[in-house]
A and B are shown apart, each in its own frame.
Chain A
Amino acid sequence: MKNLILIFISTVLVNNLVLTYFLGICPFLGVSGKLESAFGMGMAVTFVMTLATSISWLIYHFLLERFGLLFLEYVIFILVIASLVQIVEMFIRKFSPSLYQSLGIYLPLITTNCAILGAALFMVTRNYDFLESVVFGFSGGIGFSLVLLIMAGIREEVNYADIPYAFRGAALTLIIAGLLALVFMGFSGLISS
């Protein structure tokens, strides 16, 4: 149990996929304009990441390891992620058309979100068992949503500020992203073994 809590905290704060490993930067900059769509995107990524890591774990251990096909992990993981994204897209389109509209192109782009493939591959290299993998995938998604929400909150506030012309738009967004990464470095001593 202690192990799982440690994985959760370390993935959300200390080893955040976005701000420490710099994975999934595309949606991090693309969908962080509005809090509402950032929340939707975060939830979609969390859902896909949790399912992707758990299903990937099952396939990795029961298919690939058994038949000695470990070199297929990238292909299989991408296959799992792509199918899951399709399913999520169908669900969102059916049950929340407004969220579907606001996520736009970024929803199918979860397929190529490197944070999700990264989570699946980290799970393998770190030798997690099934439960740990599920928690790891879930907390990776939560960490992604947290960072996305912080970013969207800041950017919504910044819209009202009087910013020097040269810093407007993408320039300031990148600076904010860098500062956030610095801030998250402060968590690095949080867990000591």
Chain B
Amino acid sequence: MKEVQASLLVLGLTGFSFSLLLAFLSKKLKVKEDARIEKILSILPGLNCGACGVSGCRVFAQAVVKEGKIFSGCLPAGEGMNKEIAKALGIETSVVKRKSVAVCRCGADDKEKKVSCLYQGPKTCKAADLIGGAIDCLYGCFGFGDCEAVCPPGAITVAKGKVYVDIEKCIGCGKCLPACPSNLFELLPLAENLDTYYYIACNNREKGVNVKKVCSRGCIACGICTKGENSPFYLKDNLAFIEYKKIVENEPLEEAKNKCPTKCIMKFTVHSS
């Protein structure tokens, strides 16, 4: 009985003295976290997309509070939310603009892509890529929507085997780039004076004849789009590309789009917000 009393006493006293020490130190070493960080976090969309340049919304909020200004805007939040953040901090903000948007360089749907084998594996692009793809074209989109799954703002939809990017929703974070095993996504730089953009919706680097065999919407590198003065188009690896820096006006691009025999030049319009 004496042993029980002694062990209770020793253990209790040691525990009590340690807890006193801890209580004292926790008061002394308390870390004050700025209440504004939580406030900004509640305004932010919480996608942790990284489009602002730092890793995650919490780091963004800490950096904004620390620097006292919005160093680079939160793209998914849009202008309204950035103003709210500025209001919470009591500072001014400039208008936040997207620098780029993502486009998918395969514009063929189920009817246009030729499929001569039946893929029955897991319905993800990564799995299909392991056995060489689910379609005849070695460069094109399999249409299982790995990109749809990773897109933070939900701008990407896959319908009938074709990828649609909602340009208004796209924040240009670039998460779809590594998600696509065929590397079909590309970030198009947005210029200030343009609202309509063109891109080549094909990634097939085979010769025209071989492209024709697997897809009716593939670029056959005929070179029609490169004709004419000031054409920003150029051919490389049996594929047409656009030199975006060379674009002055949209007219030659629109003309090339209409002339393209396989209709693989696509266009989208950015509405100025």
Contacts and interface: CB of A to CB of B under 8 A. Distances in A.
B7 interface: yes
Contacts of B95: none
B6 interface: yes
A67 B18 CA distance: 20
A93 interface: yes
Interface stretch (B25-33, B69-77, B187-195, B252-260): B25-33
B15 A79 contact: yes
B6 A69 contact: yes
Given A63-B10, A68-B3, A94 B29 contact: yes
Nearest to A75: B11
B25 A90 contact: yes
Contact of B14 (A63, A68, A86, A91): A63
B22 interface: yes
Contacts of B14: 59, 63, 76, 79-80
B21 interface: yes
Q: Is the interface of A mostly helix, strand, loop or mixed?
A: helix
Interface residues of A, number: 20
A67 B29 contact: no
Interface of B is mostly: helix
Contacts, number: 44
A127 to B, nearest CB: 22
A69 B21 CA distance: 24
Given A63-B10, A64-B10, A72-B10, A79 B31 contact: no
A87 B15 CA distance: 14
Q: Which of A71, A83, A91 neighbours the largest number of chain B CB atoms within 10 Å of its CB?
A: A83
A90 B26 contact: yes
Contacts of A72: 7, 10-11
Nearest to B13: A63
A86 B22 CA distance: 8
A87 B3 CA distance: 31
B19 to A, nearest CB: 8
Given A79-B18, A83-B18, A90 B29 contact: yes
Nearest to A93: B31
Given A64-B10, A76-B11, A94-B29, A69 B18 contact: no
A73 to B, nearest CB: 11
A152 B14 CA distance: 38
A22 to B, nearest CB: 29
B181 to A, nearest CB: 16
Nearest to B5: A67
A129 B45 CA distance: 59
B54 to A, nearest CB: 13
Contacts of B6: 67-69
A83 B18 CA distance: 7
B18 to A, nearest CB: 4
A68 B7 CA distance: 9
Contacts of A97: 31
Contacts of A71: 7
Contacts of A76: 10-11, 14
Contacts of A86: 22
A79 B21 CA distance: 13
B22 A87 contact: yes
Contacts of B25: 87, 90
Interface in A31-56: none
Interface in A89-141: 90-91, 93-94, 97
Contacts of B19: 83
Given A67-B7, A83-B21, 14 more contacts: A68-B3, A69-B10, A71-B7, A72-B10, A72-B11, A75-B11, A79-B15, A80-B18, A83-B19, A87-B25, A91-B29, A93-B29, A94-B29, A94-B31
The 3 closest A-B pairs by CB, nearest first: A83-B18, A90-B29, A94-B29
Interface of A: 59, 63-64, 67-69, 71-72, 75-76, 79-80, 83, 86-87, 90-91, 93-94, 97
6 contacts: A63-B14, A69-B10, A71-B7, A80-B18, A83-B22, A97-B31
Interface of B: 3, 6-7, 10-11, 14-15, 18-19, 21-22, 25-26, 29, 31
